[in-house]
Each structure stands twice: as C-alpha cells, then as structure tokens.
Amino acid sequence: MKAAFYTELGGTDVLQFGEMATPEPNSGEIRVHLKTSGVNPSDWKARKIGRGGDMAFDVIIPHSDGAGLIDAVGESVDTKLIGTKVWVLNAQYGRAFGTAAEYVVLPQNLVFPVPSGVDFAEAACFGIPFLTSHHALTIDGDISGQTVLIQGGAGGVGHHLIQTAKWMGANVITTVSSDEKAAYAANAGADNVLNYRTDTYIQELLDITDGRGVDRIIEVDLAANGKTYSQILAPGGTAVVYGSAPIAELPSMDFIRRGATLKWFIVYELDDNQRQAGATALEKIIADGALSTTIAKKYPLEETSAAHNMVEKGAHMGNVVIEI
C-alpha cells in the first residue's frame, strides 16, 4: 500500500512517501480502505517532538482520523460490515500506523458508521474535532441556558464547538484573532465574537455578561489564557481544558474564592461509553442539519508534508484533509 511515514522526529522533511506492506486484521479488528485522512495539530506535534519526547516505534504512519470503506474483518467481527462507509479515530495513538495510508487496521471499537449524507472529507474530521467538542460540552452536565466561552472559534475543533454548543441550547461567546475569522465564527452561530488580541477583549466579555463572566470556558490553550480566568469566569463556573502548552499559570486563589472547577481531558483517552455517546450525538446533530464541517484544503497523500506545514502555521479556517 502507499503511505506517508517517518522514521525519525523532526520537521516536515522527515516525512517520506512510498510503499509499505498492507496490514491484515486480527481477531476483533477491522481493516478500512481509506479515502481520506484528517490532519490535526496533534499530528504535526507528534511528528516534530513525539509523544513523550521520542519515537515510540521504528516507523510511524501519522494521523489519528480518517474515513473509508471496511474491506476486511478479523475473527469475531461480522462479515456483513464489509463495504460499510466508516470514520475512524485514534489510529496513530498507542500504535504505529495511522491513517496517512491506503489502509488502516483498528479495533472494532474505534470504527463508526458515517452518518447519512456525509462525504469522506467531512467524515475524516469527526474523530478529534467532533468528539473533543462533544465531550468538552458534556463533561460537567447540561449547558442549556448557560453562557459558554469557546476559545479559538475558527479552528477545526472550535468550529464544531460553536455549532454543537448552540445545538445544545447555550449562549456562545468565542474568541478569534482577525476580522475574517470573526465572520467565520459568527456564521457558525456564535452569539458574540471577540478578538482576543485587542486591549478591550476582557471588558467586552464582561459587558456582554453584565459583569458576571461566563459559566463555562472551553479551553484550547490553558497556558496562553488561564491567567485571565480570574476576570472572566463566573462564580461557580467551570473551565474545561482539552489543550495546553506544558506549563500554565492559574489564579488559584481566585478559583478557590469563586468556587470554580477546572476539568481536563484528552480526546484519545475517552472510554468506549464516552466515544459512543459522541458518535450517537453526531448522528443526531447531523440529522438535525445543525453541524457542518469546513474543509480548508485537500492534499494528495504524496503531499502530506505540505498539509502538515499548513496545519502548523494555523492561518487557515476549518480542517485540512488528505485525499487517498
């Protein structure tokens, strides 16, 4: 099979393209003939610095998310599933071979049917972007009627977060870094969009919330934004963190005085029940016509390095996808 892969950590120059052996499914596993592979920020970070600082395997095919057709199954898996259109997650997490290839083999619990009417490009963006969004918004109970601040509303996860939060009945404030991204986030349904690079950002948020602050913060980078929580989080509020640089500074005494809660998670470590809850919600939100996925750009498999460059620069809006 054709695949993009690397044998050492580093810049995009370590990515190679070539032939590798096509994997075969063992008991309880499914092989997917991939049509698309989603590129997420964690993919270039894993390639550049590794997970834990080194190469976990001698050869790594990158990317966690993808979509395609089931073309083979191992023992104990129903053969009637062959031909099913599916999306996958966690492909290159705890295993060497991800979705930047023509085929991937995964345990059955990491493979889900694609909702009706969804194409392969969109389906490659459900693993990290949508499951992160769903879990972040449900980890601390119902958000209906709450005011939720979504940090980074123009990214792949942020775009899904805005739409999902609105679908769940929340009032949504989101942050962006430019007028163009502000228009994009507003079009996704955000009630208020603020440019976090301005000097007036915090005061604008307080004006919107009548000085109270927000009930919940969904955080893409705690290290960059945590120091503002003492000003913007309402008493009894919750900050849900799904991403951060290694070291973050927090106003701990303000958290204590406000009775605030800080929750953390990483999408790769969701359990089967949490993943299934996300997949079920995905079916419903798509059936309601309340979720769209923006594909910023598509690259062929042999240009995986260019796709990594684009995602690392972070100037795009939406998701980057590899077509296979």
What does the alpha-carbon distance between residue 54 and residue 51 come to, in Å, rounded to a whole number?
Answer: 7
Q: Fold match between 2-125+293-323 and 129-267?
A: no
The CATH code that applies to domain 2-125+293-323 is: 3.90.180.10
Identify whether the C-beta of residue 142 lies closer than 8 Å to the C-beta of residue 215.
no
Domain ranges for the chain = 2-125+293-323, 129-267
What does the alpha-carbon distance between residue 38 and residue 319 come to, in Å, rounded to a whole number?
Answer: 7
Note the helical H segments in the chain. 41-49, 120-123, 131-138, 156-167, 179-187, 201-208, 222-225, 229-232, 252-258, 272-287, 304-313
The CATH architecture one would assign to domain 129-267 is 3-Layer(aba) Sandwich (3.40)
Q: What is the pTM of this model?
A: 0.95
Nearest to 139 by CA among 30, 274, 41, 36: 274
Per-residue pLDDT tens listing for the chain (324 residues): 999 999 999 999 999 999 999 999 999 999 999 999 999 999 999 999 998 778 999 999 999 999 999 999 999 999 999 999 999 999 999 999 999 999 999 999 999 999 999 999 999 999 999 999 999 999 999 999 999 999 999 999 999 999 999 999 999 999 999 999 999 999 999 999 999 999 999 999 999 999 999 999 999 999 999 999 999 999 999 999 999 888 888 888 888 999 999 999 999 999 999 999 999 999 999 999 999 999 999 999 999 999 999 999 988 999 999 999
Identify whether the C-beta of residue 34 lies closer than 8 Å to the C-beta of residue 51.
no
